[in-house]
Chains A and B, each alone.
Chain A
């Protein structure tokens, strides 16, 4: 029971991170190397918003973080990504690496590299037989993951804008000729991706500690996205859960120190075995 909850909680965080990669890769073939930094900065923004609105309701902090993250994503698209349209995707990926460095430096400059734990839903609901508690935040994390992905699936499947989104993902040129506002769609994709990463960061910060070093979770998110397939949202969920299960099993059965190595070992194995992942499109590889 405890193992299952732990894996679900971790998997939900990783899947949200992976969504921050997958949404962008689907829409624009850009691999978002800044996902870990976006997540942790999102957590810090939530922390600052909580300080700012202290005494007020939690809702204000959540709303502020959501607004800031979506706006930031749109800004990144307009300022950095749009000028690079038509360039090799490697250039855009390199820009996300630059963005990651700037964000990490931002943590140092704005928050003075302070280690921050978000005081969020730490009340214990239930104590396991083996020890350890089921906390409110665990349930919230799992629920947030399920809700976010359910919303995405419904959006892509039924909403007119979601259909336009899929059109852009498939062929931006044809989509633009059918009156689809490609810029709007891509800007929204960036907004959604940054929001997803920030959500993961907040949930991560509520269970663990935010610091410049914790941006390493981006590697887990990237791995989860690759395991599932870079252009598959379903894959992000499955990949997140698989990476979480592997990390948990290693920490429990072998050595907690070894669990740091799990993401890149899986990454290496996946890249050598089947680089397009479980649900990814196979011929994608020829286009990159």
Chain B
């Protein structure tokens, strides 16, 4: 009797599995084990960098749901993150609420702001929407600057907030934070992967590809566009809130337009319309300045352009954006996919016809 091809899917459950092939399960299992074990061997500074990667990944997944899946370009992501951070600061520093009140409050505020910022998306597409969100970014940051200036004495250096504590246990130190952020990021990634597979994610993809066509097949474009903004800004606010607790201080100077562009860079580098890609992009863009720093430490003096590496680090973001858009527009995840398909189908060279969807 012939054995069944491992690539043949017979039931719906098989086609819907997140990890369809055995090698994928092994790969993901290995990655999970690696990520759990990493802080046991890495030094504290590296764990700190990874924590920053987790925070970036949560925000990048949120932006990718909006821009990569639903096709709504947003330059306002830094403002959403700022809202999350500031609501956390207000809750924790002014009203002294515990974190399990502050974080949901930040997410709720993020949802409300996302709904408002999403309203222009009902009228505009593409570049006009990007310009509107750009204006929204400046408006929100302007308001928050005024708020921070009036917050109280010494607030100009930032609003400091206490570490989150629960039942006498205080979340402090890089390694405890690592596991906390790992769990949250894992949940966010799973949530986004599953959301992208449901009717919501499919509606978003339909709107991205052609909103008029989406409307004609019965998708409520208004509702789903707004939903995309709300989900995206909730995740951004979550990232901002966790980031506020993580750094212990909130200042409006962090939330520049450059940050919003950095998040766009993350999803371009990782892969538009790919949840896993956003995580890859977030890690890449977060580690990029430090990689350059390391590189410059090795390079001879003459190669350092005389100054600090600051300018090079800044410029590298632009170079990476341009480079990926020109040469690898589908991002890092596409490099992985090409490799995976090559080995999966070897010695054949064609892609599978029965695609399990992009992930």
Contacts and interface: CB of A to CB of B under 8 A. Distances in A.
Contacts of B329: 87, 91
Given A94-B321, A101-B318, A219-B138, A108 B261 contact: no
Contact of A98 (B124, B125, B126, B322): B322
B127 A89 contact: yes
A98 B325 contact: yes
B319 A98 contact: yes
Contact of B126 (A88, A100, A106): A88
A94 B272 CA distance: 13
Interface in A73-101: 80, 83-84, 87-91, 93-95, 97-101
A236 to B, nearest CB: 16
B322 A102 contact: yes
B128 A112 contact: no
Given A90-B73, A101-B317, A264-B138, A226 B131 contact: yes
B219 interface: no
Interface in A111-169: 112-113
A261 B137 CA distance: 12
Give the interface residue-count category, chain B.
35 or more
B128 A99 contact: no
Interface string B135-146: 110110010000
A265 B126 CA distance: 21
Contacts, number: 119
A215 to B, nearest CB: 11
Contacts of B134: 264, 267
A105 interface: yes
B315 A90 contact: no
A58 B120 CA distance: 48
A104 B329 CA distance: 24
Interface in B108-141: 120, 123-128, 130-132, 134-136, 138-139
Interface string B187-206: 00000000000000000000
B268 interface: yes
B257 to A, nearest CB: 9
Q: What is the interface of chain A mostly: helix, strand, loop, or mixed? A: helix
Nearest to A272: B120
Nearest to A91: B325
B307 A268 contact: no
Contacts of B124: 271, 275, 285, 288
Interface in B280-334: 305-307, 310-312, 314-322, 325-326, 329
A254 interface: no
A105 B315 contact: yes
B315 A101 contact: yes
Given A90-B127, A94-B264, A288-B126, A112 B120 contact: no
Interface string B61-89: 00000000000010000000000000000
Contacts of B325: 84, 91, 94-95, 98
A112 B307 contact: yes
A233 interface: no
B43 interface: no
Interface residues of A, number: 41
Given A84-B326, A271-B120, A109 B307 contact: yes
A32 B179 CA distance: 43
A108 B307 contact: yes
Interface string A217-228: 001001000100
A64 to B, nearest CB: 23
Contacts of A91: 325, 329
B21 interface: no
Given A94-B268, A268-B139, A102 B131 contact: no
Contact of A271 (B73, B132, B258, B322): B132
Given A84-B326, A90-B126, A108-B307, A264 B318 contact: no
Nearest to A267: B135
Contacts of B311: 105-109, 113
Contact of B314 (A89, A97, A104): A104
Nearest to A87: B329
A113 B305 CA distance: 14
A16 interface: no
A268 B135 contact: yes
A99 to B, nearest CB: 7
Interface string A184-223: 0000000000000000000000000000000000010010
Interface of B: 73, 120, 123-128, 130-132, 134-136, 138-139, 142, 258, 261, 264-265, 268, 305-307, 310-312, 314-322, 325-326, 329
17 contacts: A31-B130, A90-B73, A100-B318, A101-B258, A102-B318, A102-B322, A103-B318, A104-B314, A105-B314, A108-B307, A108-B310, A108-B314, A109-B307, A222-B131, A272-B132, A275-B128, A288-B124
Pairs A-B, 6 closest by C-beta atoms = A105-B315, A101-B318, A108-B311, A98-B321, A102-B318, A264-B138
